Chain A
Amino acid sequence: MKKVILLLIIMASSILSPAVLSQSELKIQKEYADNLFNSGQLFDAITEYKRLQFFDVEGQYGYYTNIQIGEAYKGGSRFDDAVTYFANAERTAPNDSLHFDAAINVIRVNILRRTNDNAHQLLDKLEKDIRFNDRMNEINYWRGWNFIFEDQWLVASQVFEKIDKNHPLALISKQTDKNKYSVNFAKVISYILPGFGQFYTGNYLSGLMSIGWVGLTGYWTVNSFVEKRVFDGLVIGNLLFLRFYRGNYQNAEEFAIEKNIEVSNKSLKNLQNNYQGIKP
């Protein structure tokens, strides 16, 4: 009887041991790849994750490796490849929760590579999926980021407010929107009061020079007409006065746009370097 039991044990171990061994080998391989990934050797990490994926016949690391390869490609700014692997992860996700995470990763890469329309469409898809109703906050969070990357700070702040009235990103977005200049106002005020559009955006020297030119050429034009030199008046009015008048409001518009990019970039830089929460 003892002998039979011994025999059974040995038989069992002989059958199980290769499987057990391959388990530990896979684990070692995973740790090896993780080490490379964590030390920033992303290219080599991808190779080792791919090796793990290839020898992991049962696919137990399928989701994990796809996510890690996607992250590594993302770290190398190879966004298209990153999307491919995150989408693979989405497909191989063992449950809904992980499926959602992978989908969010695809969206984050889309935000970063500024294919914002894609990101919106993918977010819409997640929003409509009833499985993910309890993760609406996350969906809104990334939608807010997407709007930030689209330079639509006001909409972004409204989306963040859906999560929490005092969400830090809502406050930042709102403030950024407030700091922005109104392009239309700059233009319209320059129509009425030349040079004032430039004053509004803080370009005082340019504003003063605009006032000078428009005033001077305007004076010449009027003077010519007053002195009955109609031809001179027409030429000066057309070629000089109108030119500087047009330049004045075009300039105001240009300055406002330029300043707005500066404002946005300041906020974006701040978010990139100082924001503690999760970022795309």
Chain B
Amino acid sequence: MIKNILLILFTFVSISFSQGINYFSIDNLKKFGNFLFESGDFIRANQEYREFLTKQENDTIRIRYAETLFRIERYTEAADYFKSAFYNSSFEDEARLGYFKSLFFAGLYDDFKKDLAINEYISPVYKNNIMKLNTMTYYIEAKPLPDSTIILSYFEDDARIKMSEFYLRKDIPLRKNGTKAALLSALIPGSGKVYLGEYGDGITAFIATGLLTFLAVDNFNAKHKLRGAVFSGLAFLSYVGNIYGTALAAEKFNIGIKVNLDKEIRFYFKENNYFLPEIKY
């Protein structure tokens, strides 16, 4: 009886000795990786998962690995890994959304649209999110917008109102006409700047050009030919400089509108986390 007990104990002890605790075993790599993933340390989670995946296949780890790549902004690799989970995975739908969001963030809008046409790439669960991302590519790219009824149909309520406001502002920007402004300035110095809303600059330009012209005329009248010529030259430069400056100011104004709108749009997208859902893998 005692012999048997001893034998059992001996085996137990020897097993526990031979096993030890290996922090780098497959199981522990997974555990530690998951801990890092959940605490938001994606770059280190990525390392653990990569090590794990060289030894074992697991669809949760695979999709999480893709997510870590996405989080450390290695978007094209993330896209590849998400794509590798399109079939035979319990996260097929999530993988498809992940794939499109990776392409979106990588700025590969052409690939995005090409793959959007492939029907089986679209996940029915996240179709709405993918289509929203697609709409956002139009807003970010400097290309003409497609029909608003189609691209806005995926947004609801407030988002829809905001998106259509952006749509209008992008489609018909509140531009100022540079030629018109320059012509105005040619007619009356400084008036083009007033048209652009820069009143102080406009009036200053008018006074400067006027004063120089007056001085030129005055000096010619007083028979100071050299001074008259110098002031005429300055008046001419001031006149032409103002016209050119007005044209530039209009251009700057228009660029400013575009940049500000783009900034506003990007901020709005970011604020709403690009309308992406919270996913638990």
Which of chain A's residues has its CB closest to B28's CB? A55
Chain B residues near A22: list those with CB within 8 A. 21
Cβ–Cβ < 8 Å partners of B13 in chain A? 10, 13-14, 17
Instruction: State how many angstroms separate the Cβ of B211 from the closest Cβ of chain A.
Output: 14
Question: Which residue on B lies nearest to A22, using beta carbons?
Answer: B21
**Are B41 and A50 in contact, with the CB atoms below 8 A?**
yes
Partner of A17, one of B10, B16, B31: B16
Q: How many residues belonging to A are interface residues under a CB distance threshold of 8 Å?
A: 19
Which residue in chain A gives the minimum CB-CB distance to B39? Answer: A50
Does the CB pair A7–B17 fall under 8 Å?
A: no
State how many residues of chain B have any CB contact under 8 Å with chain A.
20
Does B146 make an interface contact (CB < 8 A)?
no
The contact of B16 among A7, A14, A47, A50, by CB within 8 Å, is A14
Interface flags for A29-72 (1: CB within 8 Å of B; 0: not) read 10000000000000000110011001100000000000000000
- For chain A, what secondary structure do more than half of its interface residues adopt (helix, strand, loop), or is it mixed? helix
- Cβ proximity bits B1-15 to A, threshold 8 Å, 1 near / 0 not: 010011001101100
Give A10 to B36 CA distance when docked, in angstroms.
39
Q: Looking across the interface, which residue of chain B has its beta carbon closest to that of A48? A: B23
A277 within 8 Å of B by Cβ? no
**Does A11 touch B at the CB level, under 8 Å?**
yes
Mark A residues whose CB is within 8 Å of B.
3, 6-7, 10-11, 13-14, 17-18, 21-22, 25, 29, 46-47, 50-51, 54-55
Give B contacts to A, CB under 8 Å: 2, 5-6, 9-10, 12-13, 16-17, 20-21, 23, 28, 31-32, 35-36, 41, 44, 47
Since A21-B20, A54-B32, A55-B28 are in contact, a sample of 14 more A-B pairs with Cβ atoms closer than 8 Å, ordered by chain A residue number, is A7-B6, A10-B6, A14-B12, A17-B17, A18-B16, A21-B16, A21-B17, A22-B21, A25-B20, A25-B21, A47-B47, A50-B44, A54-B35, A55-B32
